[in-house]
Structure 1
C-alpha cells in the first residue's frame, strides 16, 4: 500500500449541496470564491481567563481536526470526472501568528483590517487539506484577533457554534479530545442519504413543479459573475416581534412560513408574476439519525420554493396552504437541486 493510500481514512461521496458548491468553486478559479467563510474572535487578557496561551489555542485547533473527521476532508476529481471527498487520518493545523503590536495604533488597525480581508478572499486549494486556516493577530495590550477561515464545503452554520464550543473546551484542557463525549461522524449522514428513496423524491418534486414555465428572475440581465455577498439588516422592535409570533401561533403557522409567504408576495410585486419559484435553504438534519444535532458537516440543502398566489385568498389562508405544501415536501428535501431541475 502506498504512503498516500495509508494517509487516507475514508473516501466518501458528496452531499447534494457539496456537489453544487464544488461546481461553483471550480467553474471559475480566477475570481473570489464566495463560499469561503470567516469567523473573527476578539480575545482579550482581561476577559477573566488570564493571558492568552497561544500554544493551547493551537493545540485546541489540532484537537478539532482530530475530533471531527469532516474537517480533515479534501476534494479530488476521479479519472471518470466525478468528485469524491477524501478524509485523511491526520492533518496538521494551517496556523500562522502575526505580531502587529509594534506598529502605531492607526497603522496597526489598518494592517489588521487588511489581513482580515486578505485572509477572507484567499482561495483554498480544495485538493489539499485542511480547508480551514487559523491566523492569530497580536494587537498589543493583551488584545488578540483570531481568524478562523474555512470553506463552506466542510460545514454549515449549525456546525459553527458546535465548533466554537469544542474549540474553547479543548483550549481549557490542552487539546485532549479524550475528555469530550464522542461525536458521530459525518459519514453516517451520507450513509443515511444514500438509503433514501430517490425515485419517490423525484416524483414529489415533479408534481410540485409541474407546469412551471420559466424562472422567477428579478434582474434578468444582471451580471452573474461571483461577488462577495452583502448584508442588509432590518429589525422589528420587541412589541411587533411578540405580536407577530402570537399571530402566527394563533393561526397554526411557523414563523418560517410567514417569512416565506411575505417574500413570495414581494417577488410577485417586483416581477408581476403570480407563480413564484425561489430558493429555500433547509437545515437537512434528519431526526432519524441519532445524534445528528451534534454532528459537524454540511447538511443544509437548497431546494425550490414554489408558491402560486391566489388574489381572492386571505393572507391567513395563503400561508396555511403554503405551509401544507411545504410539509408534503419535507421528506424529499435531501434531493440535489440539479436533479430537481432536470426533473422539472
Structure 2
C-alpha cells in the first residue's frame, strides 16, 4: 500500500473506511508450530521451537556440503571509530545483553532429531567474544592480519546445536579506531539484522565502557516464529503457488552466456568487480522521483537491462532478493533471516528508461503479496527440475549504520553463496561477485562496464532509448575492428549456402 500510495494524502484516502489492522491476531504462541511428539523430545531450557524456513534449510545444506566452500558462513570486518581505550570487559557485557534481548542469538539448529528440521530457542546462550592486539603494526601489516583472520574464521564452522551461532572479535590498533570482525551463520541472520545487531552492540559497548546504564529494553511482541508461520500460510495458498507458476511458465530462466567462463583447476574461488554510481546519484534519484518509483526500482531496472544484453530471450526471469518480514509493528527490530530470492519477470517492451523503471516498479508491487512463498518450493514445482536461478540481484541500503561510529569506507567482507553471479547495489556502487568458471574476470569487467554505461544513460536522459545496446567504453570500436573490413559483392541470383561454399573453397583455412 505504501509503495502504491506514496503520499500522506493518498494513504489517508486509501484507509478511509477500512477496519483498523489488529496485531493481536498475528501472534504465534511458543511451540505452536510443532507437534506434540516433537515437543516431548525437546531438551530442558528451550523456550520455543519451530521449523526452519525453506530458505534457511537450503542455506544450511549449502553450508554443510563437503567441498570446503562453507557457503553462507560469513565473515565481515568493520573499522570502528573510537578515540578512547578499548575495553574487552565492556564488549563482553554488551554481548551478554544482546543475547538476552534477541532470540536469534539463542537459537540452535537441529536437522535430524525431530519430524522436521527445527530451530530451537534456548533460554540462555553464550556469545563468543575475543580480542587481538595489533598495536605497533603498520597499516599494511594490520590489513594482512585481518585477512588472515578472515581465512581462519571462514574455515571454522559453527556447531549448529550450540548457540550462539555468531562470533565477535575485536582487533585493537593504534590511533582513534579499532576493528571488529563478525562471523555469522547466515541461516539465522540476514543483512538488516546483522547491521542492526552490530550498531546495537557498539552502542551498548560505549554506554557500558563510559559507566552509563543502558536504557531498559522492551522486546517487540512479534517474533521470528511469526515469519515462519507466514511462510507456512503462503505454502498453503493456491493463489501464491499459481502466481509463481505463471512467472516461471511464461518467462525463460536467465542463464549466463555459454563460453564466458574460464577453465580453472583447484577449488572454486570467487572474485569481485565493481563500478561506482555516486556521481550519478542525484540524477538517478530524480529519475526515481519523477517516475514515482523508488531508487531500488531504478537500480533493479539497470540490472535487468544489463542482463537483457546477455540473452536472446524476449521474456525471462532472474533472481531478486526480497524481504519477507511480517508487516507488524516492531518487526524491523526482530533479528532473523527473512530473505527470499525470487524469480523476477522482465520483457523488452519498455522503450524509454522512464517506462522501464515504472514497469519494474509495477512488477515489484504485483509480487509483494506473494513474496513469502519460498523459492525452494517454486524450484520443486518447475517442470524439468533444472536450476531456475543462476544470478541474484540484491539492493542494500543499511541506513541504520552510523558513519560517525563505523567507517563505511573501510572493511572486509567474505560472504559466499552458491550462485555463479551475485550483483549488489550498495553504498554508491554496483558490485558483482562471480565464479570465474561461469564468468571470467575479463568478462566480469566487461559486465561492470555495461552497468556503468546503462546508469550513465539513465541519469542523462530519462526518456533515452532503453532498447539500445550499452557497452563498456571502447568495446564497440573493438568489435568493429575485430570484424575486419567489409567486402562488398555484386548482387547475384544465388542461394546463401552456395555463396558460403564458394567462399569456403576459396579460403578454406579462414575463420568463418
With the length of structure 2 as denominator, give the TM-score of the two structures. 0.58
Rounded Cα–Cα distance in structure 1 between residues aligned with 2:42 and 2:207: 32
Contact in 2 for aligned 1:267/1:276 (Cα 8 Å): no
Deviation at 1:95, TM superposition (A): 2.6
Among 231, 240, 244, the residue aligned to 1:201: 240
Structure 2 counterpart of 1:89? 123
The secondary structure found in structure 2 opposite 1:6 is: coil
Contact in 2 for aligned 1:68/1:185 (Cα 8 Å): no
Deviation at 1:192, TM superposition (A): 3.6
Deviation at 1:241, TM superposition (A): 2.0
In structure 1, stretches of 5+ residues that fail to align are: none
Rounded Cα–Cα distance in structure 2 between residues aligned with 1:172 and 1:42: 15
- Is 1:118–2:158 an aligned residue pair? no
**What pairs up with 1:68-147 in 2 under 5 angstroms?**
68-79=102-113, 82-101=116-135, 110-139=144-173, 144-147=178-181
Rounded Cα–Cα distance in structure 1 between residues aligned with 2:143 and 2:358: 51
The secondary structure found in structure 2 opposite 1:335 is: coil
Contact in 1 for aligned 2:135/2:173 (Cα 8 Å): yes
- Is 1:41–2:78 an aligned residue pair? yes
CA gap of 1:220–1:334, structure 2 versus 1, over 3 A, is: farther
Rounded Cα–Cα distance in structure 2 between residues aligned with 1:263 and 1:146: 32
Contact in 2 for aligned 1:63/1:177 (Cα 8 Å): no
Greater radius of gyration (CA): 2
Structure 2 counterpart of 1:179? 216
Cα RMSD after superposing both structures: 3.3
CA gap of 1:253–1:139, structure 2 versus 1, over 3 A, is: closer
CA gap of 1:173–1:246, structure 2 versus 1, over 3 A, is: closer
Contact in 1 for aligned 2:324/2:340 (Cα 8 Å): yes
Contact in 2 for aligned 1:135/1:147 (Cα 8 Å): yes
The secondary structure found in structure 1 opposite 2:55 is: helix
CA gap of 1:228–1:35, structure 2 versus 1, over 3 A, is: farther
Deviation at 1:302, TM superposition (A): 0.5
Contact in 1 for aligned 2:314/2:347 (Cα 8 Å): yes
- Is 1:253–2:287 an aligned residue pair? no
Contact in 2 for aligned 1:16/1:335 (Cα 8 Å): no
Among 273, 276, 298, the residue aligned to 1:232: 273
Aligned residue-pair number? 336
Deviation at 1:43, TM superposition (A): 4.6
- Is 1:307–2:346 an aligned residue pair? yes
CA gap of 1:206–1:119, structure 2 versus 1, over 3 A, is: same
Deviation at 1:178, TM superposition (A): 6.8
Contact in 1 for aligned 2:223/2:331 (Cα 8 Å): no
**What pairs up with 1:44-55 in 2 under 5 angstroms?**
47-48=82-83, 50-55=84-89
- Is 1:19–2:53 an aligned residue pair? no
In structure 2, stretches of 5+ residues that fail to align are: 1-38, 383-512
Contact in 1 for aligned 2:127/2:167 (Cα 8 Å): yes
Structure 2 counterpart of 1:241? 281
Structure 1 counterpart of 2:369? 331
**What pairs up with 1:259-270 in 2 under 5 angstroms?**
259-270=299-310
Structure 1 counterpart of 2:337? 298
Contact in 2 for aligned 1:16/1:334 (Cα 8 Å): no
Rounded Cα–Cα distance in structure 2 between residues aligned with 1:177 and 1:226: 47
Rounded Cα–Cα distance in structure 1 between residues aligned with 2:195 and 2:228: 22
CA gap of 1:4–1:130, structure 2 versus 1, over 3 A, is: same
Contact in 2 for aligned 1:36/1:120 (Cα 8 Å): yes
Comparing 157-166 with 97-106, greater Cα deviation is found at: 97-106
Larger RCO of the pair (alpha carbons < 8 Å, separation 6+)? 1
1:208-264 per-position Cα deviation (integer Å, ceiling 9, x unaligned): 22234x5311145768998565443322344x3222221232223332222222222
Among 217, 235, 238, the residue aligned to 2:255: 217
Rounded Cα–Cα distance in structure 2 between residues aligned with 1:110 and 1:142: 20
Structure 1 counterpart of 2:195? 161
CA gap of 1:242–1:97, structure 2 versus 1, over 3 A, is: closer
